[in-house]
Amino acid sequence: MVVARRARALRDEVGYHDLLADLRKPGCPACHGGHRAAWRYLDALLWEFVNDPEVRARLRASLGFCREHALMLLAVASNRSAGSGVGILYEDLLRHVREELISASRSRTRSASRRGRRSSERPVRGRCPACESANFVATNYARILATAPEDSPPIEGIRRPMRGICLPHLELGLRHARTEAQAARLVELYLRGEEELRTDLTEFVRKQDYRFQSEGLTDAQASSWMRAVYRLVGEPLPRKPPER
Ligand SMILES: [Zn+2]
Ligand SMILES: [Zn+2]
């Protein structure tokens, strides 16, 4: 009875079904889910909100997007042939940065002449709104993985070959873990995936030697050198719209 109730509560968690879908493909599910959320946010922005005053103000506060999501914005716009939306937004942002720099420069000159002290020279950058969309999804995934029972579908999914949490999403999950046990579970999931990956890497490197080349590489070994990089920095940005 309690088990059935826990299983039902788990299925009702925000993001549960998306997490299971993202576990069907290799890599970090939090990256897949986060990329999809950021892509949709940017797509909706270009489609509907380029001229929305509140959105413009929010984007000025963050000076647009972080590097990763600014590059994703270019991919979204290319897919939609929506370069004009990006142009409108970034003309506004360039002008805002210019005004901030000139104003900071004026106040620096004034304070230097008064007290010989330097004030801020660069505009202050708020949080990237696309990161917030991505982190919302990734945090939900991390919470489900941190609390799901051992024999539940999310844990079975993350333990399949070529799955695992990347280091940035482990760190995000640890910041939101509510108990020591949840934090320990996330670290254990990261380490288990990393151990499997290192075994693939070791075999990949060994088989580069001409004496062992005839043994051939498995798919997991052949992709291990790229997956090792993704494990430490997160999965690469998608170039195409999400399938779901
Ligand atoms: Zn990740
Ligand atoms: Zn971002």
Number of domains in the chain: 1
The predicted pLDDT at position 107 comes to 82
Helix H or strand E segment including 89? helix 83-115
How far is 141 from 153, CA to CA, in rounded Å?
Answer: 13
pLDDT at 5 over 80: no
The answer to whether residue 243 sits within a structural domain is: no
The answer to whether residue 215 sits within a structural domain is: yes
The predicted pLDDT at position 116 comes to 55
Q: What is the pTM of this model?
A: 0.87
| pLDDT category of residue 155 using cuts at 50, 70 and 90 | very high
Output the average pLDDT for the chain: 91
How far is 22 from 164, CA to CA, in rounded Å?
Answer: 11
pLDDT at 108 over 90: no
pLDDT at 189 over 80: yes
The ligand whose atoms approach the alpha carbon of 142 most closely is 1
Note down the domain range covering 75: 2-233
The predicted pLDDT at position 10 comes to 76
Inter-helix orientation angle 83-115/67-80, to 10°: 150
The answer to whether residue 74 sits within a structural domain is: yes
The ligand whose atoms approach the alpha carbon of 235 most closely is 1
pLDDT single digits (tens) 193-209: 999 999 999 999 999 99
Cβ proximity of 172 and 135 under 8 Å? yes
Mean pLDDT of 90-98: 94
| pLDDT category of residue 243 using cuts at 50, 70 and 90 | confident
| pLDDT category of residue 94 using cuts at 50, 70 and 90 | very high
The predicted pLDDT at position 73 comes to 97
The answer to whether residue 128 sits within a structural domain is: yes
The answer to whether residue 240 sits within a structural domain is: no
Q: Which residue has the higher pLDDT, 133 or 104?
A: 133
The answer to whether residue 63 sits within a structural domain is: yes
Mean pLDDT of 119-141: 87
The answer to whether residue 9 sits within a structural domain is: yes
Query: Residue 35 Cα, ligand 1 centroid: separation in angstroms?
Result: 9
The ligand whose atoms approach the alpha carbon of 186 most closely is 1
The predicted pLDDT at position 2 comes to 62
Tokens in use for 204?
């990949």
Query: Residue 215 Cα, ligand 1 centroid: separation in angstroms?
Result: 32
pLDDT single digits (tens) 10-45: 777 889 999 999 999 999 999 999 999 999 999 999
Cβ proximity of 126 and 96 under 8 Å? no
Query: Residue 233 Cα, ligand 1 centroid: separation in angstroms?
Result: 8
The answer to whether residue 242 sits within a structural domain is: no
Share above pLDDT 70 across residues of the chain, in percent, rounded to a whole number: 93
